[in-house]
Structure 1
């Protein structure tokens, strides 16, 4: 389900703040503290939040308000989440490439199982490796 509610997924700062249950000045402050929050600017210079921006702000709000992290702690957690997401994407892509090269189905690896079944990904076994 989308938050767009007739806005096409684009919200001015006041609308975004109302949806998120925070004040506009809080969003402006979080923008200065979290590089992941980067709403685009309209032709008139107003901040415009899309659904992806709202997702990041919800995550920040959760980390600060629900988990009780400091700004620095929340910043580090977001950076860790970003790195973990990128690593997972790269790992999945490498698994697919390896499977293609080995003639296997993309969900399996050379050990005959999927990662969920305990299969391991070996990126390089050397020139004479299996």
Structure 2
């Protein structure tokens, strides 16, 4: 059995890393931090924000509600306050469905390229 590198998850992410994950400006990350109570970054002695993986997951949730579903900030805040668990579950289902769709599209492209090679 070949050796597999264990996946190392970081304990903290900088604001730049989080902004890069979502392809947004750092100013939007700071703004969402102020607007949503579920984001609570740690700050080092210099005042730099350090986000936990839980914070990153919450950013995923906020990004999904605001950028993908087109909700207003007030609407997203209200939804997270009233139905946090349902919102998280719905987000997880949507994420899994997207990954399945991507996998199926890759399989389709692979099969199409094999068929073209045979012809």
* TM-score, L = length of structure 2: 0.61
2:27 maps to 25
| Superposition deviation, residue 84 in structure 1 | 6.1
SS of the aligned residue for 2:38 comes to coil
Which ranges of 4 or more aligned residues in structure 1 deviate by more than 6 Å?
Answer: none
1:59 aligns with 2:61: yes
CA distance in 1, matches of 2:65, 2:13: 22
5+ unaligned residues in a row in structure 2: which ranges? 1-6, 88-119
RMSD: 2.3
CA distance in 1, matches of 2:58, 2:15: 14
Q: Which has the larger radius of gyration?
A: 1
SS of the aligned residue for 1:48 comes to strand
CA offsets, 1:5-35, max 9 Å, x none? Answer: xxx2311111111012211000011111111
CA distance in 2, matches of 1:44, 1:3: 26
Number of aligned pairs? 82
| Superposition deviation, residue 82 in structure 1 | 3.2
Q: Give matches, 1:3-42, under 5 Å.
A: 4=9, 8-42=10-44
Matched-pair contact (CA < 8 Å) for 1:60–1:74: yes
> Which structure: greater helix fraction?
2
Give the number of the structure with larger relative contact order, counting CA–CA contacts within 8 Å between residues 6 or more apart: 2
